C-alpha cells in the first residue's frame, strides 16, 4: 500500500520537532523524497505544501525547500455569513439590496483579478442591518463567466455571499484588512460622519485560478474582528 501524504507530512514533522532536521537545513528534493517514501511525487508535493502552509518549511523555486529558522504562526479566523454573525450577537438581522447593474470590468478590476476587457461583471451593493442599525455595507463584483446563473438570480431577498457559498465551490481566497475614512457614501449608509475611521475587509475568491468574486465589506464603527493562532 502506497504511503499517504499525511504519513509523509507526519514523518517530516517528526524529524523537525525531534531535531533530526535542524532549522535552516535543506530538505531532499521531491523526487528523492518520493523514492524514499515509496510514493508518487504528487503525494510528497502535497505534504510539503501543507508543511509550508503551517509555517514550518519555506519553498523556493530552483532553491528547494528548507526548514524555517523561525517557524511562522498563522492566524486563523472565521468569517461567517453576515446573518449568522448578527444573530449570534443576539440581534435581529435584516438585508437590503441597494443597487444592481451589469458592466464590463473596470481597468482596476481587470488588473486586480486578471480579467479581460470583454468580461462582464455583476455589480451589487447591499446593506446588512442589526436591530435596524447599519452593520455592514457590501460592495461586490461577480464574474459572470465563472457564475453565469448570477445574472438572472434575484438578489433582492438573498444576499450574494449566502448564494455564492451554496452555488460555487472555491479553491483559493485572498483576504486583506484595512482602515479607511468614511466618504459621503459610507457616511450615508453606515450612519457615521465623513472622515470617521471604518474597518474594511477585501476578499477575492477564485475557482481553479478563475476569479469568481471580489467584495469590499465595510463595517460600522466599533466593529471588532477576533482571531487566534
Per-residue pLDDT of the chain (229 residues), as tens digits, is 678 999 999 999 999 989 899 999 999 999 999 999 999 999 999 999 999 888 899 988 777 899 998 877 666 666 678 999 999 999 999 999 999 999 888 888 888 888 888 889 999 999 999 999 999 999 999 999 999 999 999 999 999 999 998 888 777 888 999 999 999 999 999 999 999 999 999 999 988 888 999 999 999 998 888 766 6
> Nearest CA to 49 among 6, 90, 20, 86?
6
Q: Are strands 133-143 and 210-219 parallel, antiparallel or unpaired?
A: antiparallel
Q: Which domains can be identified in the chain, with CATH numbers?
A: 5-67 (1.10.10.10), 82-219 (3.40.1410.10)
Using DSSP, state whether 166 is helix, strand or coil: helix
pLDDT for 219 = 97
Measure the CA–CA gap between 163 and 129, rounded to whole angstroms. 18
CA dihedral (13, 15, 19, 24) positive or negative: negative
Closest to 189 (Cα-Cα) out of 227, 157, 213, 221? 221
pLDDT at 195 (0 to 100): 96
Q: pLDDT of 122-156, one tens digit each?
A: 999 999 999 999 999 999 999 999 999 999 999 99
- Phi, psi (5° rounding) for residue 148? -60, -25
* Cα dihedral across residues 21, 25, 29, 32: positive or negative: negative
**Range list of β-strands (E), 105-196:** 120-130, 133-143, 172-181
Residue with cell 434575484: 154
pLDDT on residue 79: 61
Amino acid at each position: 500500500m502506497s504511503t499517504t501524504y499525511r504519513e509523509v507530512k507526519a514523518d517530516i514533522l517528526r524529524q523537525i520537532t525531534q531535531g533530526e532536521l535542524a532549522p535552516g537545513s535543506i530538505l531532499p528534493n521531491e523526487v528523492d523524497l518520493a523514492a524514499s517514501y515509496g510514493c508518487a511525487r504528487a503525494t510528497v508535493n502535497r505534504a510539503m505544501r501543507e508543511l509550508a502552509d503551517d509555517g514550518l518549511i519555506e519553498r523556493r523555486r530552483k532553491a528547494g525547500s528548507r526548514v524555517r529558522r523561525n517557524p511562522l504562526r498563522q492566524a486563523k479566523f472565521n468569517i461567517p455569513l453576515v446573518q449568522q454573525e448578527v444573530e449570534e450577537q443576539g440581534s435581529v438581522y435584516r438585508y437590503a439590496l441597494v443597487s444592481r447593474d451589469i458592466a464590463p470590468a473596470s481597468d482596476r478590476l481587470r488588473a486586480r483579478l486578471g480579467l479581460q476587457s470583454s468580461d462582464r461583471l455583476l455589480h451589487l451593493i447591499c446593506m446588512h442591518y442589526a436591530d435596524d442599525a447599519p452593520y455592514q455595507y457590501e460592495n461586490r463584483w461577480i464574474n459572470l463567466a465563472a457564475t453565469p446563473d448570477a445574472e438572472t438570480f434575484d438578489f433582492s431577498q438573498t444576499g450574494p455571499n449566502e448564494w455564492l457559498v451554496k452555488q460555487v465551490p472555491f479553491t483559493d481566497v485572498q483576504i486583506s484588512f484595512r482602515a479607511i475614512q468614511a466618504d459621503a457614501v459610507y457616511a450615508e449608509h453606515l450612519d457615521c460622519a465623513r472622515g470617521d475611521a471604518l474597518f474594511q475587509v477585501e476578499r477575492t475568491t477564485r475557482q481553479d485560478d478563475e476569479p469568481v468574486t471580489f467584495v469590499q465589506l465595510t463595517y460600522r464603527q466599533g466593529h471588532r474582528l477576533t482571531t487566534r493562532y
